[in-house]
Each structure stands twice: as structure tokens, then as C-alpha cells.
Amino acid sequence: MSLLKTGLIQHACSTDVQANLEKTIQLIRQAAAEGARLVVLQELHRSVYFCQQEDVSVFDLAETIPGPSTDALGQLAKELGVVIVASLFEKRATGLYHNTAVVLDADGSIAGKYRKMHIPDDPGYYEKFYFTPGDLGFQPITTSVGKLGILVCWDQWFPEAARLMAMAGAELLIYPTAIGSWPLDEADEKERQRQAWITIQRSHAIANGVPVVAVNRVGHEADPAGGPGADFWGSSFVVGPQGEFLYQADQTSEVAQVVEIDLARGEDVRRIWPYLRDRRIDHYPDLLKIYRD
């Protein structure tokens, strides 16, 4: 079937990991009750976004895959007959951790995982302290609802990642996200940043002829070091293969929104906008350089 009902789970998080999990499960159940066959969670949904500061005690939050979260979400996926895209702080080995998206198929099994490739290191987003860059490449995950091109947050700013997923056969691109504004920025700067985030992902849909699903968190999260913290701007959305909005959440509400995506539209769009046909790969070798001096 080409019509895929997809649930977007946007919510705030607290320091109570168990409470966060219970909220997530409740919202997944709500989306499934409304007919969702695919449910997408936000980045690092088990906890607050802990990368505002560098703190070695935070590594205690990490878990293995398979592990407690995949066990719980896999059981839920099987019970509800849905595919779940979750985002976890993966402990691969002592001293080796990843920001990992894992996909639970509708039978409860782990269909695959993607380890975040692009790792930021900016004020309030000190992810390089916690996460090793991914080593699984840009490979779609085959599930009972289709081939999912999973990327994570900072990956969404890089057109190369979206292109490689599309070239490998992804039927839609999915971006679990944790992004927001610095509270002390001017209102117009906050809005420019939010619109840039939306625009770049819409462009990936257009350039590759595939739908895009982006799921972000909401709410203010305090800086444990006493700084201004972060205001996560929600705005989770779905666009079709021409960048057209199918749904967009507001900036403050917790939602479990179900959106119908027509996966077959990408076939029609690519026939009239054949970007893959017209790529001049014989003239792109400099893309393998960091910069052209």
C-alpha cells in the first residue's frame, strides 16, 4: 500500500527517565489508535537533552542495543502492529558511545539502526564529548512499511546525507531532532533559525523527490551549569516530495499527530523532475574534498 499513516510524537522531557518513557508509550498508543503504522520519536527522547554541558556522569544514561528500551519498545511495536523509530544514547563499549536511531519493526524485532554521522560541537550542543561519529554509513532500513532513510538532527543540514539515502532507495527521509533557540537571542533571530531548519529539510524532499518527516521536542530545558538553557521549538512537520506541507505542529504543544503520506507520489514527481538522471557525477570529484583552495 502506498498510503502510510505516520505518527509524529512531539513532547517535552524531564530528568525523570521513567516518566519520559511512560509519556512516550502513552503517545505511541494514541497514534496507533488513530491508525498509525509508523511512529517516529524525537531525538534522545528518554531524557532531557543532556549535551548542554560536558559531564561524565551522564554516560550512566547510555544503554546497549538490544537493551531495556529496545525490549520495551519492541514489545509495544509487536502489540500494536506498528513500526517505531526510536532515538537512543547507545553504549557500544566502555568509552565508546553513539547517538543512535533504532527501528523496531511491527513484529517487535530490530529492523536496523543508524548511528548519527555528523556530530556538532557548539555552545549548548557539546555532542562530540558524548558521541563517536557513526560507522554504519547512509543505508536505508528495510521494514514492513517500506525503506526508511533515517538521519538524526545535525545530519539534516547536510544535503549529501539526504542524497546518499535517496540514492540507496529510501522511500522517505526521517529526522529525529532536538533543536531549539538560545533564550537570550532576539525574537527575529530565533525565527530565522527556525525557518532555516524547516527550509533545509524541505529542500531535501524537493531535491530527492521523497517525503520528509522531522520530529522535534518542545519545552524549556534548564542548563545544569546555570546558563540560560534551551527553548526547544517543536514545529515537527511532514512534507511531500515537492516540499509541500502535509502537517506542521506548533512550537509548544505535545502532540501525537497522525499524517497520511503517499509514498507513490515520489515516483510521479521524479518522472517530471528527474534530478537523479541529470546529475553530472563525472564533474563532482571535488565533493570529496573538505574545501577547494
Domains of the chain (ranges, CATH numbers): 3-288 (3.60.110.10)
Q: Is 128 a catalytic residue?
A: no
Q: How far is CA 169 from CA 13, 52, 141, in A?
A: 34, 35, 10
Q: Is the dihedral of CA 120, 123, 129, 131 positive or negative?
A: negative
Phi, psi of 149 (to 5 degrees): -90, 95
- pLDDT on residue 278: 96
Q: Which triple of cell numbers denotes residue 214?
A: 522531522
CA distance 192 to 190: 6
Catalytic residue among 5, 23, 43, 221: 43
- The grid cell for 282 is 563525472
Burial pattern 166-197, b for ≥16 Cβ within 10 A else e, equals beeebbbbbbbbbbbbeeeeeeeebeeebeeb
What number is the average pLDDT over the span 73-96? Answer: 98
Give the pLDDT score at 238.
98
Is 43 among the catalytic positions? Answer: yes
DSSP class of residue 134 equals P
C-alpha to C-alpha distance for 276 and 213, rounded to whole angstroms: 21
pTM (2 d.p.): 0.97
What average pLDDT does the segment 126-143 reach?
98
Q: Confirm whether 153 is a catalytic residue.
A: yes
What stretch of H or E contains 33?
helix 17-33
The angle subtended at Cα 258 by Cα 253 and Cα 260, nearest 5°, is: 140
Q: How confident is the model at residue 11 (pLDDT cuts 50, 70, 90)?
A: very high
Q: Please tell me what DSSP assigns to residue 243.
A: S
What pLDDT does residue 1 have?
Answer: 63
Query: How far is residue 87's CA from residue 256's CA, in Å, rounded to a whole number?
Result: 17
At 31 the pLDDT is 98
85 pLDDT more than 70: yes
Q: Return mean pLDDT, the chain.
A: 97
Catalytic residue among 116, 127, 190, 221, which? 116
Residue 205 CB contacts under 8 Å (≥ 6 apart), including other chains: 173, 211, 212, 239, 240, 241, 242, 243
pLDDT band at 146 (very low <50, low <70, confident <90, very high): very high
Active-site pick, 23, 90, 153, 221: 153
Phi, psi for 231 (deg, rounded to 5):
-110, 100
pLDDT digits (tens, 9 = 90+) for 34-72: 999 999 999 999 999 999 999 999 999 999 999 999 999
Residue 206, φ and ψ in degrees, nearest 5: -65, -50
C-alpha cell at 47: 531524557
Phi, psi of 34 (to 5 degrees): -95, 10
Q: List, for residues 174-229, the tens digit of each pLDDT value.
A: 999 999 999 999 999 999 999 999 999 999 999 999 999 999 999 999 999 999 99
The β-bridge partners of 213 are 174, 238
Q: Other C-beta atoms within 10 Å of 111: how many?
A: 20
How much of the chain, in percent, has pLDDT values that exceed 70? 100
